[in-house]
């Protein structure tokens, strides 16, 4: 027993006061404190008053009272693992099998009991009780550490999600700023540069219509006219690539229809463009922008790499999402190789754009079987256009 520590408390139940006194004297010699228990109510009070280390009971008090006492012991929440030392006559020992089976740590001492047997049984019970207390202490300490770690992880996780959300918001702001700048530059190209080139073309035409020119001058004028026309065409294409006015003015379906027609004319590849579910109203601006950019980048990849004979573009709004599907019948790709070439093909940028609006980009491809790019973007209740928003 540690110096300064309270002595182990043993509850004693005996049939005769003299037997209880002898038991307490023997326990005192082992450094234990002793409390004599008369009945179940007294036992409950003692168990609730502080830590108890052992129960010593003499069956000579009668099996009925002993059973009542032990039932009260079993019912107490603090006594489930209280060790029990039973003293019994040899004739009563077989009747105590049920009592012994109920206890987590029970020792039966058959009378007459030697001092060595008594001391060994008591010390074993006290060691068991001390071990159980240490296990509970360690479990409580472990639970405390787990709770601390869980709280720390929850805090770190919350901070991480907050940082992810902040970065996502910043990325969305950056994407919006980029689109706004694209829109401004496209408007400037159309309204200013386009107007200047149109004025130049009119001036060239006016000179040509003014009367016959010497052959060298007529040839130079024709060259200027061709250059002006080519510049006008290139400025128009650049403005459309930057930000088509149809996307802002008319919506996604009209802008993609225009994109598909112009791309088909340049690439010489027919495009089957279809739209479904968009008649209920326009999609959110950022969703329209993302889906337009995905289709635009996918068609660029088809022109550069696919060697396709035909292309299909389908844009739809159904249920809780808007979807763009771009399919070609070109050479396709090995999915593993595609993973390594994704940066060069603009797939990383596509995925980032789609993820910024909470969507997902999937790519289905196989060598010789073409490629399909599917972009799905979730819509809020009021954006679904299905009567549920």
If the chain, 389 residues long, is cut into consecutive pieces of 10 residues, what is the mean pLDDT of each piece?
A: 75 88 93 88 79 88 74 74 88 78 81 93 93 92 94 92 83 74 73 75 79 81 81 75 79 93 94 92 90 93 92 93 95 68 68 91 90 94 55
Q: Which two tokens stand for residue 194?
A: 């386009």
Give the DSSP letter string of 184-218: HHHHHIIIIIHHHHHHHHHHHHHHHHTS---HHHH
Q: CB of 288 within 8 A of CB of 253?
A: no
Place of tokens 């019948």: 329
- Residues of 278-299 as b/e, b for ≥16 C-beta within 10 angstroms? beeeebeebbbbbbbbbbbbbb
Q: What is the CATH number of the domain that holds 350?
A: 3.30.565.10
- Which of 71, 86, 113 represents a domain boundary (last residue)? 113
pTM: 0.53
Residue 384 domain-assigned (yes or no): yes
- CA distances (Å), 127 to each of 32, 108, 131, 205, 352, in order? 13, 17, 6, 111, 64
The count of domains in the chain is: 2
CA 234 to the chain's CA centroid: 47
Is 129 part of any domain? no
| 149 located within any domain | no
Q: Is residue 166 part of a domain?
A: no
Residue 165 belongs to a domain:
no
Which tokens is 119 given? 């001391």
Closest by Cα among 56, 182, 214, 67 to 129? 56
């Amino acid at each position: 027993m540690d110096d300064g520590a309270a002595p182990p408390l043993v509850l004693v139940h005996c049939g005769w006061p003299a037997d209880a006194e002898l038991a307490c004297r023997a326990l005192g010699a082992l450094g234990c404190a002793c409390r004599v228990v008369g009945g179940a109510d007294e036992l409950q009070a003692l168990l609730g008053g502080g830590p108890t280390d052992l129960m010593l009971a003499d069956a000579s008090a009668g099996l009925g009272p002993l059973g009542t006492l032990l039932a009260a012991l079993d019912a107490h929440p603090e006594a489930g693992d209280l060790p029990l030392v039973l003293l019994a006559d040899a004739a009563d020992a077989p009747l105590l099998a049920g009592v012994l089976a109920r206890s987590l740590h029970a020792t039966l001492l058959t009378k007459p009991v030697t001092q060595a047997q008594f001391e060994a049984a008591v010390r074993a019970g006290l060691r068991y009780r001390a071990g159980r207390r240490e296990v509970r202490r360690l479990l409580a300490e472990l639970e405390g550490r787990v709770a601390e770690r869980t709280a720390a992880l929850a805090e770190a996780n919350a901070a991480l999600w907050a940082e992810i959300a902040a970065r996502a918001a910043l990325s969305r702001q950056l994407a919006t700023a980029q689109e706004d700048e694209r829109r401004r530059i496209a408007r400037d190209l159309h309204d200013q540069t386009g107007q200047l080139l149109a004025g130049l073309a009119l001036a060239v035409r006016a000179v040509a219509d003014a009367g016959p020119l010497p052959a060298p001058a007529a040839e130079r004028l024709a060259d200027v006219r061709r250059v002006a026309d080519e510049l006008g065409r290139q400025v128009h294409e650049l403005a459309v690539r930057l930000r088509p006015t149809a996307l802002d003015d008319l919506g996604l379906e009209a802008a993609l229809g225009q994109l598909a027609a112009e791309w088909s004319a340049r690439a010489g590849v027919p495009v089957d463009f279809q739209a479904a579910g968009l008649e209920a109203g326009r999609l959110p601006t950022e969703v329209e922008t993302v889906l337009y950019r995905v289709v635009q980048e996918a068609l660029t990849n088809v022109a550069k790499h696919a060697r396709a004979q035909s292309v299909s573009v389908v844009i739809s709004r159904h249920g809780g999402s808007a979807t763009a599907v771009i399919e070609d019948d070109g050479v396709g790709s090995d999915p593993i190789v595609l993973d390594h070439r994704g940066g060069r093909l603009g797939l990383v940028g596509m995925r980032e754009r789609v993820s910024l609006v909470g969507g997902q980009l999937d790519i289905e491809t196989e060598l010789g079987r073409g490629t399909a790019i599917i972009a799905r973007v979730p819509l809020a209740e009021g954006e679904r256009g299905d009567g549920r928003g």
